[in-house]
Structure 1
Amino acid sequence: MSPIIIYIGAFAAAVLTLMTGFGVGTVLTPIFTFFFEVQIAILMVAVIHFSNNLFKLYLFRKHIDKAIIMKFGILSIIGAFVGAFLQVYMQSHALKVFLGIALIILAGREFIPSKKEFQLPKSIDAIGGFASGLLGGLVGNQGAVRSAYLLNYNISKDAFIASGTLIACFVDATRIPLYIYNYGDKLSSHWLFIGGVVATAYIGTLIGKRVVTYLPLKAFKKIVAGVIILMGIVLIVS
């Protein structure tokens, strides 16, 4: 597999994440694992994810819903710390299997037959906040869980994007220092490559901001979810 797929994935994921609330980590993490050890892949994607989220937060900063942040964000931070700590004690193969299963489950919800958007009960929001952070810290995929919970709230699309992005920044700021402490010495030869992927994601974010209100989401999300499920299967059997 050519590394060019990483740049293509970063661009597509950055466009996708503005419409779904997740994408960059979910798409890039399995791609990076084809080229790097799992823990290093998660660290590199985390840096890219955080950089892109800061840019996205700047674009949507006026639409943050503070009530959502207080109710959901704090537990996400705790979950991220626990997940990042536990990652050190998991073997690479176990991480691949866990990540594959998580991707299949999270993407598979797009194919659940229903006349309305899949929603989770508000009574377990605390679990959702912690779980999204835990999954983010452990395997780098937090957004799909978070988005499933944020769908329960009657907020605008801009508020959905802004609030989810700020929570993601909290999670990234919690887990990245732990990752760097454990694996940072292995990044020294990859910063230029990471910078290129970040720049590609920025371009995707700018384009995504322009098309977010025009592109039909239903079929597009199913295609993306199908690709993510295939990636999850490959990770499990590889």
Structure 2
Amino acid sequence: MEILGLVLIAFFASILTFYSGFGLGTLLLPAFSLMVPIDLAILMTALVHFLNSIFKFILTRKALHWPSLAIFGIVSLIFAILGAYCLQYFVVLEWMYSYTIVGYAASTNVLKIIIGSLLVLFTGIEYFDVIKIKSNHPIYLIIGGILSGFFGGLSGHQGALRSAFLRSLPLTKEQFIATGIACALMVDTARLLVYTKMDQHAFMNINLQLVLPAIAAAWAGAWIGNKYLKKITQEQIQKIVCICLILFGVLIGMGLI
């Protein structure tokens, strides 16, 4: 039953992730953490996310928007390495606040609160046009790359922050999805290289009975997402991303996911 639940989460989260640019890692990590120690769950989630990003990149590579990737992606890569190294020194991660809501035990920390607040803040700023800055300005891309890359390396919460910035660029739906996937692949590569360097034997402990079904389910979800991409409009993509950003921002901040 545990593996079936994991497969269903990976499958449907992968479909959601294909359009929104985030969600797979955020939903997989809690599922893995119920079955293995949290440090191993983080590594297994990163591995599934990485292999799924490769598969999605193969499906969408022709629609890449290279100018955005050149700035946003490279900055994300650099700060993902920094974030991954900071993981072992980030003392604030040790602080936890636990509480119960509607009979459900939840816990949050400073990092989750920061990430959740940033998601809601950036979405609100863009939606209400608070800051008068051209969304394709290099400074905008650099700030987005720094935040999504650093937090991606630190905790794996890269996708939502990345989508919060990329959704405002003058990109087609195909370019938005393909560019986000390429950025995710760069960050995932950096994360795994740093994690491996910090613990060279980490991959020896991976539970393949859990990882392989999750990878297969995620690939199936990505394939279905790509198949129906042409039937979804640019406006629908924007709405999906906006709703998911606010929802995930609140849930992450509250420690519910």
Q: What band does the TM-score fall into relative to the shorter chain?
A: 0.7 to 0.9
Change (3 A) 1:66 1:110: closer
Distance 1:164 1:219 in 2: 15
- The CA deviation string for residues 204-238 of structure 1, in whole angstroms up to 9 with x for no partner, is 111111233446553796378536733542469xx
Contact 1:136 1:171 in 2 (8 A): yes
Distance 1:119 1:184 in 2: 45
Change (3 A) 1:84 1:115: closer
What is the SS of the residue equivalent to 2:149?
Answer: helix
Contact 1:26 1:103 in 2 (8 A): no
If the length of structure 2 is used for normalisation, what is the TM-score?
0.77
Distance 2:162 2:130 in 1: 13
Distance 2:151 2:175 in 1: 23
Contact 1:29 1:140 in 2 (8 A): no
Letter in 1 for 2:55: F
- The Cα shift of 1:41 comes to 2.1
- The Cα shift of 1:193 comes to 1.4
Map 1:65-84 to 2 at 5 A.
Answer: 65-84=65-84
- The CA deviation string for residues 117-157 of structure 1, in whole angstroms up to 9 with x for no partner, is 89894333212111111111000111111112112321111
Distance 1:77 1:183 in 2: 20
Letter in 2 for 1:166: A
Distance 1:74 1:102 in 2: 23
Distance 1:60 1:30 in 2: 28
Residue 162 (structure 1) aligned with residue 178 (structure 2) = yes
| Identical columns (%) | 32
Contact 2:119 2:164 in 1 (8 A): no
- The CA deviation string for residues 30-65 of structure 1, in whole angstroms up to 9 with x for no partner, is 433344443322211111111001000000111111
Change (3 A) 1:170 1:111: closer
- The Cα shift of 1:85 comes to 0.4
Corresponding residue of 1:130: 146
Distance 1:174 1:43 in 2: 13
Letter in 2 for 1:134: F
Map 1:206-221 to 2 at 5 A.
Answer: 206-214=223-231, 216=236, 218=239
- The Cα shift of 1:19 comes to 1.1
> Alignment length, in residue pairs?
236
What is the SS of the residue equivalent to 2:109?
Answer: helix
Distance 1:158 1:41 in 2: 31
Change (3 A) 1:222 1:147: closer
Stretch moving more, 100-109 or 169-178:
100-109
Stretch moving more, 132-141 or 120-129:
120-129
Map 1:78-93 to 2 at 5 A.
Answer: 78-90=78-90, 93=94
Point out the structure with max Rg over C-alpha: 2
Change (3 A) 1:189 1:129: closer
- The Cα shift of 1:195 comes to 1.2
- The Cα shift of 1:76 comes to 0.6
Unmatched runs of 5 consecutive residues or more in structure 2: 97-107
- The Cα shift of 1:23 comes to 1.8
Residue 47 (structure 1) aligned with residue 63 (structure 2) = no
Corresponding residue of 1:58: 58
Change (3 A) 1:232 1:152: closer
Corresponding residue of 1:203: 220
Distance 2:211 2:29 in 1: 13
Contact 1:120 1:148 in 2 (8 A): no
